[in-house]
Chains A and B, each alone.
Chain A
Amino acid sequence: MSLLIYEKSAPGRRAANLPRLTPVEAAVKVRIPAKYFREKEAELPELSELDVVRHFTRLSLKNFSIDANMYPLGSCTMKYNPKICERVASLEGFSSLHPLLPQLRGGGMLTQGALEVLHETERWLGEIVGMDAFTLQPMAGSHGELTGMMLVAAYHHDRGNRKTKVIIPDSAHGTNPSSAAIAGYSVVTIPTNAEGGVDLAKYEAAMDGEVAAVMLTCPNTLGLFERDILKIAELAHQRDALLYYDGANLNALLGQCRPGDLGFDVVHVNLHKTFATPHGGGGPGAGPVGVKARLIPYLPTSIVVKREDGSYALEYDRPKSIGYISSFYGNFAIILRAYAYMLLLGREGMRRVSENAVLNANYIQARLKARYALAVDRACMHECVFSASRQVEHGVHALDVAKALLERGLHAPTIYFPMVVKEALMIEPTETESKEQMDELIDAMLEIAEAAERDPAKFQALPQNTTVGRLDEVKAARDMCFKA
């Protein structure tokens, strides 16, 4: 059984090797009265450095990771994280910069390189998605969604519009309605039609003068391009409702078409998806938000501007701004990695990404559709969505398919959404997986489909060869043990 780091503690052991105080420094009397001191020392473990290193090294070996395993997770875009981007992020000239420097008089001139990174990233992203300006402050995709909704609210408020609702398709990721609600809107859900798009008739009926915005993902969470997008945009704009683009699936459109040209007014992109920054086990990510010109006045403070002499500065005097979304300029080291990635790809690289992402997903779809029920029988884009309904007939659920894949060293596809597909299996290979790797996934899934018919009972016990088997989630929720 693996021990917690606290269970490896041995009194008297120490890793910390801190600088010693000189006699002169040690001689001064720290004037903090005793009552302001903590009562007991914090019970942090006592370990040698080797203990610490072994503990975390061994822990790391219990993880799946892109560098070791394929993650065909729909809507996550688990593409390869280039190592050169890691090297760039560790450049001392960037990593050691204090964020308050630009707020000192003359301090902006100390951070020109960093400001240029921000400015250039905004410019590149604007070109890629067809937006006029960007903010890099949001620190995750859902943070970008909230920022986008706040921009929508500021826009309407400024125009004296009374808008209370946001339209969201039922296929949307949970962060969409969650973000809309936090921004103060009530959510109107529109169903998905049989072809996998927004039900246009119901959408038209729901569109009225009180709709502030429509939040869409395109391609949607079924991996399908929204065929009626131009009509949807037109209907929204007729009522001065803004069209919001959830960029989770941007990988399918890079270099092929731009959300701005489809009619979107506000866009967020996920740097940790489309732009290859590492997932980190759950973050840090970044969710920059792009806007069309009419929303620029509302962008968060501060913004990076390029002066006539070519130098960069931060502008704080922005009377209509929605204010501060993050403490500074966003997750700078993540932005830097994404910028490096964009530089590597360049113009033709972007197009190759989407071409291969879409090719790969269609290949998997074509080879699996004989054994798995396709949610919608149409050419997909960068991800394909199946339902495990045929396997459920034998008592094998999407969750069981997922665990069976883990057994084979492949991470499962996305299974907990979209909510419109029962027993969903959402597969996104990305462009960085080889045909051999995809064939391994395909063969595994075909084998699983076979086993589901032949021997469904054995699925319950899977996975067996991971570090733990299926965990009792009910016990976790009931015991509520959140610390050692």
Chain B
Amino acid sequence: MPYIPTTERDRTAMLQAIGVTDVAALFADVPASVRISGLNLPPGRSEVEVYEYLNQMSHRNTHDLIGFLGGGYYDHFIPACVDALASRSEFYTAYTPYQPEASQGTLQAIFEYQTAICRITDMEVANASLYDGGTALYEAAMMAIRLTGRRKILLDSGVNPIYRNILYSYTRNLSVDFVEIPAIHGQSDRERITAALDDKTAAIILQNPNFFGAVDDFADVIEAAHQQGCLSVMSVYPVSLGLLKTPGQMGADIVTGEGQSLGLPLSFGGPYLGFMATRMAHVRKMPGRLAGATRDANGRRGFVLTLQAREQHIRREKAMSNICSNEALCALRALIYLSWLGKGGFKDLAHICAQKAEYAKTRLSAIPGVEVKKSAPTFNEFTIELPCDASDVVSRMIDRGFAAGFPLGRYYKGMENYLLVAVTEKRTREQIGLFAEALEGVL
């Protein structure tokens, strides 16, 4: 029986100590009418059988397409040492660090992770993680509502449509009023945003780069928001921060994002990593765990979970969020990844991605019928307009061995011919060339 060490002899000794003759007696409280003799499931299998079965199943997935698919989730290379270190069982089989003396490894890692997030975003305090970029954005919206006492939120339509779906789903039963501001030519509509900001607005939610790939500097929008007493919430792509102006520099109040690009595999949707950072003035209203530095009686530096009065196990129905287990191991991976990249590597990685994307743009714009959208600067993801339905093109490109990109028509009406193309450091010049050739062939 896998993983159960108890022998007959052990059982006899334990039953004797308890004072019953068999284990069934210990289930006496369960009503007879609901007892079952066993579940309607197949018998247990051996390790090798389970491995082979799931191995076969894994081969029923196509994973060798050359990927230009992004949309918020990117095929970046994960350095070997991230896997090696995060798979140390002292990290992954550890419990939540409620007993800090037994958990300084985890706690120091959380503290270092919080530091890393602050340094890449130029914000003042970050939490220990949330579930993913989408739910993190929802938590940020709720935080803005708590901080301002207002219930209206402006939502730029350049924000990831899946995140927007999450915002709507979670707030369905709450009195939150979302006002969507459509983008023009793939960019934020400043006029409409400024007109919509008022003293009933809790926050404006923006994304950089936005879902179309457009890069912006939102300092002016954030300033306009502040003048109305509104907060700004920005969702960002962390790898882009190696190059781009940070949300902190722009004056953002709450920053969130998807940390998958920081050393986490694509893994068909999870586990991912929601990060959140804010200003110290707002820390008491921030959800999620927080590791803080302190000392023991001998003056040794140590780390503990702190400000727990915000959390569910103390505040119960008045907690900032109900979050308990989060994405600690994923945050550890992100920390290791950022430490491995380091100051220079973080900058270089962004540079490489941007250059490769720009190169891809030149190859694609040379294809008759393909128009690379130029109304805004982009980082490593950009929009192209095709002479026909993008979904159809993508389907034919799959046959040729490419995940060509994301057809925007799926979430944006009228954009059926538009394709979102992402390029990471994993794409070689040859692959980019082959991609362009294949696309030309398909059109």
Q: Are B30 and A183 in contact (CB under 8 A)?
A: no
Say how far B38's CB is from chain A's closest CB, in angstroms: 5
Q: Chain A residues near B296: list those with CB within 8 A.
A: 468-472
Q: Are B398 and A106 in contact (CB under 8 A)?
A: yes
Q: Are B95 and A279 in contact (CB under 8 A)?
A: yes
Q: Chain A residues near B38: list those with CB within 8 A.
A: 255, 347-348, 350-351
Say how far A12's CB is from chain B's closest CB, in angstroms: 9
Asked if A427 is at the interface (CB within 8 A of a chain B CB), the reply is no
Cα-based distance from A81 to B377 in the complex (angstroms): 47
Asked if A457 is at the interface (CB within 8 A of a chain B CB), the reply is no
One digit per residue, 1 when the CB lies within 8 angstroms of any chain A CB and 0 when it does not, for chain B 334-370 equals 0110111111111111001011101101100000000
Cα-based distance from A340 to B354 in the complex (angstroms): 40
Cα-based distance from A129 to B334 in the complex (angstroms): 36
| Given A153-B173, A262-B34; A94-B61 close (CB under 8 Å) | yes
Cα-based distance from A476 to B339 in the complex (angstroms): 25
A45-B339, A224-B29, A283-B129 are known; give 7 further A-B pairs, CB within 8 A. Answer: A5-B339, A44-B116, A279-B96, A282-B95, A329-B268, A344-B2, A467-B302
Cα-based distance from A62 to B90 in the complex (angstroms): 8
Cα-based distance from A6 to B174 in the complex (angstroms): 43
Chain A CB within 10 Å — which of B165, B294, B429 has the most?
Answer: B294
Asked if B146 is at the interface (CB within 8 A of a chain A CB), the reply is no
Say how far A199's CB is from chain B's closest CB, in angstroms: 17
Asked if B269 is at the interface (CB within 8 A of a chain A CB), the reply is yes
Q: Chain A residues near B96: list those with CB within 8 A.
A: 279, 281-282
| Given A31-B358, A52-B336, A344-B45; A22-B18 close (CB under 8 Å) | no
Asked if B425 is at the interface (CB within 8 A of a chain A CB), the reply is yes
Q: Are B50 and A344 in contact (CB under 8 A)?
A: yes
| Given A59-B105, A483-B115; A256-B35 close (CB under 8 Å) | yes
Asked if B179 is at the interface (CB within 8 A of a chain A CB), the reply is no
- 20 A–B contacts from the bound complex (CB under 8 Å): A15-B341, A22-B429, A38-B243, A53-B85, A93-B58, A98-B69, A99-B269, A101-B69, A113-B60, A255-B36, A281-B105, A282-B329, A326-B134, A331-B272, A332-B268, A340-B50, A343-B44, A366-B18, A379-B26, A482-B283
| Given A467-B104, A469-B300; A42-B313 close (CB under 8 Å) | no
Tell me which residues from 300 to 318 in chain B have a Cβ below 8 Å from any Cβ of chain A.
300-304, 306-307, 311-318
Q: Are A36 and B245 in contact (CB under 8 A)?
A: yes
Say how far A6's CB is from chain B's closest CB, in angstroms: 7
Q: Are B341 and A44 in contact (CB under 8 A)?
A: yes
**What residue in chain B is nearest A139 (Cβ atoms)?**
B131
Q: Chain B residues near A93: list those with CB within 8 A.
A: 55, 57-61, 63
Q: Are A128 and B317 in contact (CB under 8 A)?
A: no
Cα-based distance from A411 to B15 in the complex (angstroms): 25
Tell me which residues from 1 to 27 in chain B have a Cβ below 8 Å from any Cβ of chain A.
1-6, 10-11, 13-15, 17-20, 23, 25-27
Asked if B442 is at the interface (CB within 8 A of a chain A CB), the reply is no
Tell me which residues from 19 to 62 in chain A have a Cβ below 8 Å from any Cβ of chain B.
19, 21-22, 24-26, 28-33, 35-39, 41-47, 49, 52-53, 55-57, 59-62
Q: Are B85 and A282 in contact (CB under 8 A)?
A: no
One of B18, B84, B99, B345 near A411 (C-beta < 8 A)? B99
Asked if B194 is at the interface (CB within 8 A of a chain A CB), the reply is no
One of B4, B92, B163 near A431 (C-beta < 8 A)? B4
**What residue in chain A is nearest B1 (Cβ atoms)?**
A352
Say how far B332's CB is from chain A's closest CB, in angstroms: 7
Asked if A268 is at the interface (CB within 8 A of a chain B CB), the reply is no
Q: Are B289 and A257 in contact (CB under 8 A)?
A: no
Say how far B244's CB is from chain A's closest CB, in angstroms: 6
One of B271, B295, B319, B343 near A43 (C-beta < 8 A)? B343
**Chain A to chain B: the 8 pairs with minimum beta-carbon distance, closest first:** A16-B345, A323-B169, A346-B44, A93-B58, A328-B269, A280-B329, A282-B328, A113-B60
Q: Are B100 and A84 in contact (CB under 8 A)?
A: no
Q: Are B2 and A349 in contact (CB under 8 A)?
A: yes
What total of A-B pairs shows CB separation below 8 Å? 691
Q: Are B39 and A46 in contact (CB under 8 A)?
A: no
One of A63, A145, A276, A412 near B105 (C-beta < 8 A)? A63
| Given A178-B317, A187-B317, A283-B329; A82-B2 close (CB under 8 Å) | yes
One digit per residue, 1 when the CB lies within 8 angstroms of any chain B CB and 0 when it does not, for chain A 93-132 equals 1111111110111110011111011000000100110000
Q: Are B317 and A180 in contact (CB under 8 A)?
A: yes
Q: Are B17 and A367 in contact (CB under 8 A)?
A: yes
| Given A46-B344, A332-B268; A324-B3 close (CB under 8 Å) | no
Q: Are B41 and A127 in contact (CB under 8 A)?
A: yes
Q: Chain A residues near B91: list those with CB within 8 A.
A: 56, 60, 63, 65, 280-281
One digit per residue, 1 when the CB lies within 8 angstroms of any chain B CB and 0 when it does not, for chain A 126-148 equals 01100000000001111101100
Q: Are A96 and B51 in contact (CB under 8 A)?
A: no
Tally B residues with Cβ within 8 Å of A: 206
Tell me which residues from 176 to 223 in chain A have a Cβ below 8 Å from any Cβ of chain B.
177-184, 187
**What residue in chain A is nearest B46 (Cβ atoms)?**
A344
Q: Chain A residues near B269: list those with CB within 8 A.
A: 99, 326-332
Q: Chain A residues near B327: list those with CB within 8 A.
A: 139, 280, 283-284
One of B67, B300, B322, B355 near A1 (C-beta < 8 A)? B300
Asked if A266 is at the interface (CB within 8 A of a chain B CB), the reply is no
Asked if A420 is at the interface (CB within 8 A of a chain B CB), the reply is no
**What residue in chain A is nearest B378 (Cβ atoms)?**
A32
Cα-based distance from A117 to B46 in the complex (angstroms): 18
Asked if B232 is at the interface (CB within 8 A of a chain A CB), the reply is no
Cα-based distance from A239 to B71 in the complex (angstroms): 46
Q: Are B162 and A5 in contact (CB under 8 A)?
A: no
Asked if B125 is at the interface (CB within 8 A of a chain A CB), the reply is yes
Q: Are B89 and A65 in contact (CB under 8 A)?
A: yes
One of B101, B106, B307, B329 near A466 (C-beta < 8 A)? B101
Cα-based distance from A63 to B85 in the complex (angstroms): 14
One of B47, B245, B304, B398 near A38 (C-beta < 8 A)? B245
Q: Are A18 and B94 in contact (CB under 8 A)?
A: no
Asked if B326 is at the interface (CB within 8 A of a chain A CB), the reply is yes
Tally A residues with Cβ within 8 Å of B: 206
Q: Are B93 and A81 in contact (CB under 8 A)?
A: yes
**What residue in chain B is nearest A117 (Cβ atoms)?**
B57
Q: Chain B residues near A395: list those with CB within 8 A.
A: none
Tell me which residues from 167 to 196 in chain B have a Cβ below 8 Å from any Cβ of chain A.
168-170, 172-174
| Given A93-B61, A363-B17; A482-B125 close (CB under 8 Å) | yes
Task: Choose, from B150-158, B197-205, B221-229, B388-396, the stretch at the interface.
Answer: B388-396
Q: Are A324 and B134 in contact (CB under 8 A)?
A: yes
Asked if A238 is at the interface (CB within 8 A of a chain B CB), the reply is no
Q: Are B98 and A416 in contact (CB under 8 A)?
A: yes
Q: Are B242 and A18 in contact (CB under 8 A)?
A: no
Say how far B212's CB is from chain A's closest CB, in angstroms: 15
Cα-based distance from A333 to B271 in the complex (angstroms): 6
Cα-based distance from A104 to B270 in the complex (angstroms): 19
Cα-based distance from A225 to B27 in the complex (angstroms): 9
Q: Are A484 and B2 in contact (CB under 8 A)?
A: no
Q: Chain A residues near B13: list those with CB within 8 A.
A: 435
Q: Are B36 and A111 in contact (CB under 8 A)?
A: no
Q: Are B346 and A42 in contact (CB under 8 A)?
A: yes
Q: Chain A residues near B415: list those with CB within 8 A.
A: none
Say how far A479's CB is from chain B's closest CB, in angstroms: 7
One of A175, A281, A484 near B103 (C-beta < 8 A)? A281
Cα-based distance from A157 to B172 in the complex (angstroms): 11
Q: Chain A residues near B1: list those with CB within 8 A.
A: 348-349, 352
Say how far B79's CB is from chain A's closest CB, in angstroms: 8
Cα-based distance from A482 to B50 in the complex (angstroms): 44
One of B15, B110, B241, B314 near A359 (C-beta < 8 A)? B15
Chain A CB within 10 Å — which of B114, B307, B356 has the most?
Answer: B356
Cα-based distance from A469 to B53 in the complex (angstroms): 48
| Given A52-B336, A104-B403, A140-B326; A343-B249 close (CB under 8 Å) | no
Tell me which residues from 237 to 275 in chain B have a Cβ below 8 Å from any Cβ of chain A.
241-246, 249, 265-272
Q: Are B92 and A278 in contact (CB under 8 A)?
A: yes
